[in-house]
Chains A and B, each alone.
Chain A
Amino acid sequence: MSDEMTTGRGPGLVSSLGDVARRRFESKRVTTAVQGVGLEARGIHAWFGDRMVLEDMSLDFWSGTVTALIGPSGCGKSTFIRTLNRMHEFIPGAAMAGQVLLNGEDIYSSGTDVTKIRLKIGMVFQKPNPFPSMTISENVLAGLKLAQLKVDNKDDLLEECLERAGLWNEVKDRLSSYGGSLSGGQQQRLCIARSLAVRPEVLLMDEPCSALDPGSTLRIEETISHLAASMTIIIVTHNMQQAARVSDYTAFLLSDGGPGKMVEFGPTGEIFSRPKDIRTENYVTGRFG
């Protein structure tokens, strides 16, 4: 993290990051029409025990776009992303308020089947975590087994998912070796492929590159760009260059010691080149964080 910060310091950064982002945003706008809201967060608050860690987050995530959540450590961005597919509730003492709407329906409403929600809203974690007792192909298809789904042609699905995750060429000859035999970056793409196999509408990524080297990070970012056309992607990142490179929209979260709050949300180009809030500007220029 300190690496990113030191490279991020220096004059002209705001404009350069802004340029990267704006170019990307504008090229994107030409290719993909905005298709509608994929996921909406409405007044999300989150607590651990009595401590409020997240206050009043309201955000729309558009289909076919990548939204980045940035902010210093402890600002609640991971907590927020975990409320979006109901992983938040696994932490003992967790509580929340507000709504998360997927296609207009509240995923927290009673009677909702939480496993079905998680099928529609997939997640990739910080550390690559393929199941070590399964082979590469079993890993990709694990979601089908776990959620007890039937599919006609497993081989096609396997190839499609690995292809979309940008891993097919590297592993097609050793699909039956174990997931742990891959490199870290390959493992993370395997995890992405695994999430894709259940055909989610939304993909949440919680700092997917923070445990990877720069080369692998680049591959993952390419993968994200390819995937963005067909789904809604929300990515938490510490790395501002990464946010600028891959995202269409950026939300900046900050905690002043109390609960994390959203400071600013907008197209990534504007957040990095013309932030409205002085705190955002301070953060993206590396003056703190």
Chain B
Amino acid sequence: MTTAAVVKPSKPWQASPRQRLNSALVYIAAIMTSYLIVAITPMKGKLAYAFVFFAAFIVFDFALNLFSRGFPVAKDAIARAVVAAGICVAVFPILSIIATVIIRGYHGLHIGLFTHDMALNSVTDPVKQGGLLHALTGTAILVLVALIISVPLGILTAIYMTEIRGRFMKPIKFLVQAMSGVPSIVAGLFILSAVVYPITKGYSGFVGSLALSILMIPTVARTSEEVLLLIPNDLREAGVALGGTHWRTVAMVVVPAAKSGLVTAMILGVARIAGETAPILLLTGGGDKVNGDPFHGPMGSLPFYIWKSYSVGTPESITRAWAAILVLLVIVLVLFVSARLLSERRSSK
């Protein structure tokens, strides 16, 4: 171990300080070029900066690599720049969306959002009046009912795919995928035609939840399937070898082992439907008052409130819409992050 004390690990394949300096110079030169060209030509706007910067960067980087390391490396450098531009284009909208929602929605936030509903106010009233209570409770009820319906079905489907592996595995896999592709408005129309017109003959939260369940089942089923597939086979064999019946093995060994993963699947399913708008517009009626009964009367919800406020189109109502979107975004974010944390904890175990 004496040599180990002397010899230090190094990573000679990483860029040397000189190479780092060179690439920094390329960046600086490209930025300067973009300012220069935008200043002296009629091009304008942020996009022009970005575009010229990108073009200049490619040219400079190509030239640098061509002279120092030859054509293949220079070509590789272009590819690297193009690929990096791809991820920038893919990620930019999300940053823009989050920034927009925070900046525009921030003005509409006040503590009353969580204590008042809109029964006594209209969306064109000053922003500080009224609140989202009806929408929040409505969304919670819609989601809860949808959860009760779709989680058993989704998880049963996943168990069929991983534990029973029956004859219909392939068709069912396809059907689940096809179901995840069902447009949300079609789900709404279906509930309308199958439940609302012939049976209930009126709006209610419950029928909205039915439509949401159609959208949620495939998400729950697919995520649960992935989770159950990760359960090592020896666990199952151990259960069966101990004399457990198939049913007991699944219920006592497999499902508990996948518990946190199944919770993740539920959370992702909720995130999928929490902001779903189209079927809600067709089915729930969207009241302005807190309604705790999913089976009777119109039920408000966040997406409905956002839609309504946006459609009215006055400055107050649009601010309300953004504030509600901010709340919705936070809900989705919290759900998403908790799903991540759960699955991360699971994989690190």
Report if B96 contacts A (CB, 8 A).
no
Interface string of A75-94 (1 = CB under 8 A from B): 00000000000100100001
User: Taking A113-B69, A115-B73 as contacts, is the C-beta distance between A43 and B7 under 8 angstroms?
Assistant: yes
B10 partner, pick from A86, A95, A114, beta carbons under 8 A: A95
A56 to B8, CA, bound (A): 12
Report if A218 contacts B (CB, 8 A).
no
A97 to B7, CA, bound (A): 7
A95 to B11, CA, bound (A): 5
Least distance between A271 CB and chain B CB atoms (Å): 24
Find out whether the CB atom of A98 lies under 8 angstroms from the CB atom of B75: no
A227 to B176, CA, bound (A): 56
Which residues of B from 296 to 317 have beta carbons under 8 Å from A? Answer: none
With an 8 Å Cβ cutoff, the count of chain B residues facing the other chain is: 20
Find out whether the CB atom of B3 lies under 8 angstroms from the CB atom of A56: yes
Interface string of B55-88 (1 = CB under 8 A from A): 0000000000000111111010000000000000
A148 partner, pick from B8, B12, B16, B75, beta carbons under 8 A: B75
Least distance between A193 CB and chain B CB atoms (Å): 22
Which residues of B from 239 to 284 have beta carbons under 8 Å from A? Answer: none
Which of A18-26, A63-71, A103-111, A245-253 interfaces with chain B?
A: A103-111
Least distance between B128 CB and chain A CB atoms (Å): 53
Chain B residues contacting A97 (CB-CB under 8 Å) are: 7-10
| Chain B, Cβ-Cβ closest to A259 | B4
Find out whether the CB atom of A98 lies under 8 angstroms from the CB atom of B73: no
B71 partner, pick from A86, A110, A148, A259, beta carbons under 8 A: A148
Interface string of A43-65 (1 = CB under 8 A from B): 10101000010011000000000
A113 to B70, CA, bound (A): 9
Find out whether the CB atom of A110 lies under 8 angstroms from the CB atom of B18: yes
Least distance between A279 CB and chain B CB atoms (Å): 19
Least distance between A266 CB and chain B CB atoms (Å): 22
Least distance between B31 CB and chain A CB atoms (Å): 26
A97 to B4, CA, bound (A): 10
Find out whether the CB atom of A95 lies under 8 angstroms from the CB atom of B16: no
Report if B19 contacts A (CB, 8 A).
yes
Find out whether the CB atom of A110 lies under 8 angstroms from the CB atom of B19: yes
Report if A33 contacts B (CB, 8 A).
no
B11 partner, pick from A89, A111, A115, A258, beta carbons under 8 A: A89
Which residues of B from 1 to 42 have beta carbons under 8 Å from A? Answer: 1, 3-4, 7-13, 16, 18-19
Chain A residues contacting B69 (CB-CB under 8 Å) are: 113
Find out whether the CB atom of A96 lies under 8 angstroms from the CB atom of B75: no
A89 to B14, CA, bound (A): 9
Chain A residues contacting B4 (CB-CB under 8 Å) are: 45, 52, 55, 259
| Chain A, Cβ-Cβ closest to B18 | A110
A56 to B1, CA, bound (A): 11
Least distance between B338 CB and chain A CB atoms (Å): 28
Interface string of A127-162 (1 = CB under 8 A from B): 000000000000000000001100000000000000
Least distance between A114 CB and chain B CB atoms (Å): 7
Chain B residues contacting A110 (CB-CB under 8 Å) are: 12, 16, 18-19
User: Taking A109-B12, A110-B12, A111-B16 as contacts, is the C-beta distance between A98 and B72 under 8 angstroms?
Assistant: no
A43 to B7, CA, bound (A): 9
Chain B residues contacting A115 (CB-CB under 8 Å) are: 72-73
Identify which of B9, B68, B72, B73 gathers the most chain A CB atoms within 10 Å of its CB: B9
User: Taking A52-B4, A55-B3 as contacts, is the C-beta distance between A113 and B73 under 8 angstroms?
Assistant: yes
B9 partner, pick from A45, A111, A113, A114, beta carbons under 8 A: A45
A182 to B195, CA, bound (A): 60
User: Taking A52-B4, A55-B4, A110-B18 as contacts, is the C-beta distance between A147 and B72 under 8 angstroms?
Assistant: yes
Chain B residues contacting A47 (CB-CB under 8 Å) are: 9
For the complex of A and B, 5 pairs with smallest distance between CB atoms: A95-B9, A110-B16, A108-B12, A89-B13, A47-B9
* A56-B7, A97-B9 given; 19 more Cβ-contact pairs under 8 Å: A43-B7, A45-B3, A45-B9, A47-B9, A89-B11, A89-B13, A95-B11, A96-B9, A97-B8, A109-B12, A110-B12, A110-B16, A111-B68, A113-B69, A113-B73, A115-B72, A148-B72, A258-B1, A259-B4
Q: Which residues of B contact A (CB under 8 A)?
A: 1, 3-4, 7-13, 16, 18-19, 68-73, 75
